[in-house]
Structure 1
Amino acid sequence: MSQSIRIATSEDYPKIMKIWESAVKSTHDFLSEADFEYFKKIIPIDYLPNLEVYLISENNDIKGFGSVSDDMLQMLFIHNDSRGKGLGKVLCMFLKEKTGFSKVDVNEENLQAIKFYEKLGFQKIGRSEKEGSGKDYPIIHMSL
C-alpha cells in the first residue's frame, strides 16, 4: 500500500471537511449539533487558509490531515474508515520531524485521542475548562 504526504491546497478543502466530519462524528460524541455545524462552517474559512495543512493519502486517496502552528499540533484527523491503521501515527511523526512541535491540546472527553497521544509519548501537563474558541469543552494540554 503506497502512502504519501503532501501540502493541501484550497481544492482539497471539501475532502478535508469530509474527513473532519467522519472523524468528529465517530470520536466527538460530546459535541452538540449546533457546535458541530459552527465548526464545520468556520474551519474552511478561518482555520485551513491560515495553516499549513498536510494530507496523508493511501494509493492517492486522501485519508487524513494534520497541521502544526508554532509548537502546537493544531489538528490531526483520520477518516473513520481508516482509523486504527497507523496513518495517524505516520502523519504525526512526519509533522513532528518537520516542525519539531511538542504540544497538543485534546478534548478531555476524547479518550481515544488522549490514549493515542500517550502512546506517542505525550504526557498530560494541564487542563482548561474551555476550548480555544471559548466553548465549554474541557481541554487536556499535553506535551512531549
Structure 2
Amino acid sequence: MAFRIEGVELGGDPALLAELIACWRASVEATHTFLTPDDIERIASYVPDAIASVAHLAVCRDEGGKVASFIGADGVMFEMLFIHPSLRGCGLGPLLLDHAISEHGVTLVDVNEQNEQAVGFYEHCGFEVFDRSATDAMGDPFPILHMHLP
C-alpha cells in the first residue's frame, strides 16, 4: 500500500478536522488502554482545539485519499502522532517521525508512561527518557515520560 505525506492547514476545513478526530479516537481506543471511556470522552472535548492549534500538521493519506495517520509539531516538540489502528505496523510511524525531524528539526516528545507501545516505539526510533512528570499537561494522574533524541 502506498501512502503520501502532506503538510496541511486546517483553515476552517471541518471535513479534515473530523477525519483527524476519528483517527485520533480510533488510535487512542486501541492503544491507551489505561484510559476509561469517560477519560476518552473528556479528553475528546479538547482534541479539536489541540489539533487546530498545532504549528505544523502533517497528514499521511492512503491510496484512496483517506487519513491514515497524522503528526503535529511545534518547534522541536512532537505534539501528537496518531495512526489508525488498522494500519499500525505498516511503517507510518517512522515515516511521519522522519518527516517531522527532517522538515521541522523535532527532537522532543512527551509520552504517556502507561502507553508502553508508544514508549517502545520512540525508544526503538532512538529517543531516550530524560525526565518524568507524575501528571499530564492537564494535571491528570497519567505519568508522562519526557524523551529526546540524543
User: Which category of TM-score, normalised to the shorter sequence, fits these structures?
Assistant: over 0.9
4+ runs of 1 displaced by more than 3 Å?
none
Is 1:14 aligned with 2:6? Answer: no
Q: 1:29-80 CA deviation, whole Å, 9 max, x = no partner? A: 1112222111211111x21221132100120221001001121100000000
Identity of aligned residues (%): 33
The counterpart of 2:138, out of the listed 133, 138, 141, is 133
Give 1:129 deviation, angstroms. 0.4
Aligned counterpart for 1:28 among listed residues 26, 32, 35: 32
The answer on 1:62 being equivalent to 2:67 is yes
SS for the counterpart of 2:61 is strand
5 Å matches for 1:30-109? Answer: 30-44=34-48, 46-51=49-54, 52-59=56-63, 60-109=65-114
Alignment TM-score, normalising by the size of structure 1: 0.94
SS of alignment partner, residue 46 of structure 2: helix
Structure 2 unaligned residues grouped into runs of 5+: none
Alpha-carbon separation, structure 2, partners of 1:109 and 1:49: 26
Gaps of 5+ in 1: none
Alignment root-mean-square deviation, CA: 1.1
Separation in 2, partners of 1:58, 1:91 = 13
**Cα distance, 1:90 vs structure 2:** 0.2
**3-state SS in 2 of match to 1:65:** strand
User: Residue 118 of structure 1: CA displacement?
Assistant: 0.7
1:76 match: secondary structure: strand
TM-score of the superposed pair, with normalisation by structure 2: 0.91
Q: Alignment partner of 2:33: what SS?
A: coil
